[in-house]
Structure 1
Amino acid sequence: MHQGIGWLIIGGGILLAGCTQQAQSANTTIDAPKVALVAPQKDTDFAAARQALTQFLTRQMVQPDGIYTNFLDSQSTGDTATGHEYLSESTGLWLQHLVLTKQSAAFKTFYQRSKTTLWQGQQFTYRYDPARNYRYPVNAGVDDLRIVNAVGRITRQTKQSAWQHTYTKLARTVLANTVPQGRVVDYVDAQTHERAQQTTLCYVDLATLQPLLPTRQYAQALALVQTGRLTGHLPLYATRYDFQKHAYTGTDSINIVESLLTAVHLAEVEKVPAATVNWVKDQVQNDTLYNRWGADGTPQTTDRSAAGYALAAQLGLFTGDRALAKLALQRALAFQITAAGAPLTGALGDLPSQQVYSFDNLTTLVTLDMYLNGES
């Protein structure tokens, strides 16, 4: 299902960096992540859509210390966050929005408040229930790295020594906790200190990791992702790598959002294959970017999402394909509710059921910011 992992696995185990390669000294600062250059584009329709989306989010979803997972306040104690719980995922995306729109004062306030709510000493809880004042004990590696990335960007943008200190301390803490020996783990339990023995490939945020890891460990992280590319009719990526089984898993049913995020992370460091981009472009043009696919290239569902199309647009932006970026954003905004005077006006979701999820909305917002404001 995937290419051979070659030099990455030797004698049945992951090759780790040698003792001569040490992480940065505790007395030195850490470079902020490099940002792929994206030229800003003028588009009055996208600008109006972003304004409506931002107004909805700030009125209905964004709180002083977090963001509601769903517009509806449904209560759940299950494995999936719902209702007015907060996710560290949403916090990181909102921080990215604030950086891209150069709202440094708002960034500082929201970061400080949300860190007080979500921080567990060495990691951010992936999920917080404000009704019970309960932090779930585990984090999500990709979310912690996204927040590190946002703090690194505000450091680069403001050039303030206070932010440099904050970024260096946060990055070093998250790296030690969630990226042991250069391997991003899915989660760490803050109570038991148990670490996952697997890496979901879309958790490997390469642009964020590049300035944090020794060269050899970064190369291994990159190879781990690249080697997870499926062969055959679906040029996307396996779901995860199991370090105990030394194998890629989750290849029978591919979640398009996860696989697209993996592709975006590769595109940010100029390593995404043309075949992957071309396949995504075909699906965007045909409006068939379905949410789940078999490894044989057959869709397993016919539903699509705003977030899927927004990530396809990011892929276009990072590879310089403006046509892909524009069309994919148009597809994403087809989910926007335009009914005047409704509480959900501007949201991306379903008006009859009032199901509006933060991930769809925030991912699309960040993509609009990238398209309209650019990155440099």
Structure 2
Amino acid sequence: MTLFKKALFSFSIVSSAIVIYDLLPLDHKYLAVTDVNSQSTESIERVLPGEQFILSHMLNANGTLRTNLKSNKTTDPQTAVGHDALSESMGLWLQYAYEKGDLTLFRKNAEVIKNSFMKSDGWIAWKVNPNGKPVTTNALVDDLRITYDLYSAGTKWEDADFKKTADTITRSILKRQYVNNTFRDFYDYSKEWPSNVITIAYLDAFSIVNLYEQSKITEDAYQKTKKFMINLPLNNGFYPFNYHVNEGTYEYHDQVNLLDQLFVEYSTAKFGQKDSEFWSFLKKSFQDDSILYGKYDITTKKRAVEFESPSVYGLAILCALEHNDSEFAKDLYYRMIRFQTLNPTSEYYGGYMNYQPVDTHIFDNLVPLLAERKLYNARILQ
């Protein structure tokens, strides 16, 4: 079972939409509004259009984030659609609130996670359906990200409750998903067993470094994980998708999902690998085509699909920031926002919409929003 394989939400930009966007006056392509309601202890400069869209269109009644704008349904327990809520989304939303400096938004959603996703012992369901019923498995990367957010917020706002919750989740991770010196994808709470696979993109370096700095994992555990990531064997310049622990083997996909690759790149860069073959490929591909496609052929390195994804650009921006490449980050940003509805009169202002059909995926809104906020925090955008 692979919980990380959430399909890219493909976007086709019709020529009329491009024309409308290009005709908008420059000062209407980005509309900043003052946040008058926040109780944050930090000074919040602006509410970004993407945040406005999420607050207006992507919230369920219980405060969780819906996966899609439309309320589609599925009988596949391993798929999230419609108004299903994901721990992945909540972790990214927390991260955005932290980067924004919005304590009220952060605290509200930390409570949502505790009430809707988390058991008292710190285990977090990766999905909760619209009726509030959670699945019986979790996802390591989501739990790690949430602990990172909570520890960071606990330090920033000197909030002991945030750190206490992070400690509870961390204990669950280390008890259930760190087996024989290796992190595992998930833990099935009903069957009481962990996966014997680790999806490489699940090893979020920012969270793991933080756990080490918080003295939650040992020096040995930290160094082994870091070494594992830095020494990943490449296939034609691409990272493996996952590692089968019992067999000691890596798995590669014939069609490489760029999101998976970028998550790994983000972590290896954090661990100190700044000159990877994959990053060189990515930059050259964008230089040659002015586009990043959703998937590439592992053998030919040519695009395997025709679609782009705003979340790919958002994650590439985060990688560029980690590589201290502000010019590349800006180039990626201006390509990314071509997919955003920036007409302030539109019902879907701020959203990364697919207008055929009229729908969107929360991931394709959260990652670009987080990237944009980080660009402002870095003063790359003014």
Taking structure 1 as the reference length, the TM-score comes to: 0.82
Contact 2:147–2:166, Cα closer than 8 Å, also in 1: yes
Distance 1:89 1:47, change over 3 A: farther
Q: How does 1:1-376 map to 2 (within 5 A)?
A: 48=32, 51-63=48-60, 64-78=62-76, 79-120=78-119, 121-131=121-131, 133-210=132-209, 211=212, 212-232=216-236, 235-285=237-287, 286-296=289-299, 297-374=301-378
Whole-angstrom CA distance in 2 between matches of 1:187 and 1:180: 11
Asked whether the equivalents of residues 258 and 295 of structure 2 are also in contact (C-alpha less than 8 Å), the reply is yes
**In the comparison of the two structures, how many residue pairs are matched?**
330
Aligned AA (1:126): W
Secondary structure of the structure 1 residue equivalent to 2:89: helix
Post-superposition Cα deviations, 1:11-37, rounded to whole Å, max 9, x if no partner, equal xxxxxxxxxxxxxxxxxxxxxxxxxxx
Partners in 2 of 1:335 and 1:313 — Cα distance?
15
Determine the C-alpha separation between the residues in 1 that align with 2:144 and 2:176: 11
The separation in 2 between residues aligned to 1:374 and 1:169, in whole angstroms, is: 32
| C-alpha deviation, 1:229, in angstroms | 4.1
Q: Compared with structure 1, are the counterparts of its residues 229 and 355 closer, same or farther at alpha carbon in structure 2 (3 Å cutoff)?
A: farther
C-alpha spacing 1:338/1:289, structure 2 compared with 1 (3 Å): same
Cα deviation for residue 74 of structure 1 reads: 0.7
C-alpha displacement at 1:127, in angstroms? 0.6
Provide the TM-score with structure 2 as the length reference. 0.81
1:96 Cα deviation (Å)?
A: 0.3
CA distance in 2, matches of 1:250, 1:355: 31
- Once the two structures are superposed, what CA deviation does each residue of 1:285-322 show, in whole Å capped at 9, x if it has no partner? 32332111222223211211111111111111011100
Q: What code does the residue aligned with 1:73 have?
A: S
- Pairwise CA RMSD: 2.2
CA-to-aligned-CA distance 1:97-141 (integer Å, 9 cap, x gap)? 11001111221121112221011344211111023x311111111
Whole-angstrom distance in 1 between the partners of 2:196 and 2:155: 33
Deviation at 1:268, TM superposition (A): 2.2
